[in-house]
Amino acid sequence: MLTTLPIKRQLPSLRQLLKHRQVKLSIKLSSLILVTSLFSGCVSLADFTDGGDSFTMSAAASEEMNAVNAAMNAVEILYQRGNKQDLAYYAPNNFELALKKREALLSMYEDYTPNGGNWFSNSGSEEIETESALFVQRMNKAFQAKLITEPLLSIVRDHDEFIQSIDVDGFEARFDKLRDSTTQFAGLIESRGTGLGLEHQKIKLERDYNSLEVDMIKRKVLRLPTSEFNLLDQELVPESYNKALNGLYSLERLIEKDPRDNTVIQQQLNASYRQIKQAASIAKEVVWVKSRIETSAERVVINYRDHLNSLNSYLGTEELTALDFQSQVRGIKDAVASKISLHDKEKELSDQHLRRQLAELGRLLTGQDMSRYSISQQVDNLIFAARSLVDESIDIPLAQR
């Protein structure tokens, strides 16, 4: 239990301590109103008055009140700063002890009531100042501990934040277990003041976090294609089945190599999903063929050739319909290539005709031969020549035009 001593003897330099911690605090009466709005249960302004408009606090009571409010402001400022710097993650032991002191301080502060018209006239004010100074000391230890733990936990923290950004259910217990291990690891560094001798735990934590990250991405990426792959009948389409399976294996290896390479993973996912859909489509056709092959093999062949007949009709290569299936495919490919080549030739002839026309127009406007220039260069020269002619006509008096 704390022994109550006069404040000047027990805390000879509280304000110097707060100044040393670079905590600039206002000790005006307005700060009291701010703090009482933060902590419910404190006294109101009516407790300072006797029905009039003036305060009746003595100078000593006012000084004591200001000191207590300055101490509580320091507590709140350091607490908020600790939260922003994630001290609960980097310095769990010291921050937890600081939080317990803060809870005790809040309870002490809420219990204050005026005593005989004077504020804080009992020994509780000294306890608040004493405990707040201890809170400041504990928070400083937490900040100092973070300087040691943060570099050692940087990779783990990166995994931690990435995992929290992944929306995948089913890994909560595993993640919580790793979080507890991280807290214990940080606590060991705090107590020792160094990470020496803890390298094996650091490596294991990083490996476990990376493994969790990989497993979560696998679940997120592979869930849909895997469920569709499981619907395939291996005996019905063994070749297509194995091709789709190899695609899934490749996708899984990519995730294991770098679970955050979204571009490459997405490309392989699309390719793998396409293979699965293709296998499913082939399976339907195999079922259709098998149901008809025994009774009407000719009908199967005719149905496939009908599709080629439609394409031959569109390309104007009806003579190919008399050939076998493979020959028709090769002929159709050649016909498409020929059409593309013809289109390119027509475009080239059209460009040549346009260049000749532009060159003739350029000769008329400028008297120069511009046929050696490209189309865009000729157009630019023509625009320049036309603009020059317009400018010259504007400069000629109207009567001379």
Q: Nearest to residue 325, comparing CAs of 302, 341, 342? A: 302
Q: How confident is the model at residue 157 (pLDDT cuts 50, 70, 90)?
A: very high
Give the per-residue pLDDT at 395: 55
Q: Nearest to residue 101, comparing CAs of 244, 195, 2, 209? A: 2
User: Per mean pLDDT, which range of 47-56, 207-216, 284-293 is the poorest?
Assistant: 47-56
Spatial distance between the Cα atoms of 378 and 367, rounded to a whole number of angstroms: 13
What pLDDT digit, counting tens, does each position of 335-353 carry? 998 888 888 888 878 888 8
Distance in angstroms between the alpha carbons of the first and the last residue of the chain: 112
Q: What is the mean pLDDT of residues 154-177?
A: 95
Whether the per-residue pLDDT at 55 is higher than 90: the answer is: no
Give the per-residue pLDDT at 201: 96
Q: Which two tokens stand for residue 252?
A: 């899984």
Q: How confident is the model at residue 64 (pLDDT cuts 50, 70, 90)?
A: confident
Spatial distance between the Cα atoms of 237 and 289, rounded to a whole number of angstroms: 13
Higher per-residue pLDDT: 165 or 376: 165
Q: What is the mean pLDDT of residues 154-171?
A: 94
Q: Which two tokens stand for residue 285?
A: 């056709």
Provide DSSP, 325-380. HHHHHHHHHHHHHHHHHHHHHHHHHHHHHHHHHHHHHHHHHHS---TTS-HHHHHH
Residues in the chain: 401
Q: Nearest to residue 198, comparing CAs of 240, 152, 244? A: 152
SS3 at position 118: strand
SS3 at position 137: helix
Q: How confident is the model at residue 385 (pLDDT cuts 50, 70, 90)?
A: confident
Give the per-residue pLDDT at 263: 95
Phi/psi of residue 115, nearest 5 degrees: -125, 105
Q: What is the mean pLDDT of residues 246-272?
A: 96
Give the per-residue pLDDT at 371: 77
Q: Which two tokens stand for residue 289?
A: 């063929």
- Are the C-beta atoms of 375 and 387 separated by less than 8 Å? no
pTM, rounded to two decimals: 0.63
Phi/psi of residue 163, nearest 5 degrees: -60, -40
Whether the per-residue pLDDT at 29 is higher than 50: the answer is: no
Higher per-residue pLDDT: 176 or 384: 176
DSSP 3-state percent helix, strand, coil across the chain (nearest 5):
75, 0, 25
Torsion angle of C-alpha atoms 191, 193, 199, 205, degrees rounded to 10: 50
Give the per-residue pLDDT at 400: 53
Higher per-residue pLDDT: 108 or 234: 234
Give the per-residue pLDDT at 42: 37
Whether the per-residue pLDDT at 15 is higher than 80: the answer is: no
Spatial distance between the Cα atoms of 67 and 73, rounded to a whole number of angstroms: 10
Whether the per-residue pLDDT at 34 is higher than 80: the answer is: no
What pLDDT digit, counting tens, does each position of 94-150 carry? 999 999 999 999 988 887 544 433 444 444 678 888 899 999 999 999 999 999 999
Beta strands in 199-285 (DSSP E): none
Give the per-residue pLDDT at 49: 41
Whether the per-residue pLDDT at 265 is higher than 60: the answer is: yes
Phi/psi of residue 118, nearest 5 degrees: -110, 145
For the chain, the average pLDDT equals 80
Give the per-residue pLDDT at 370: 78
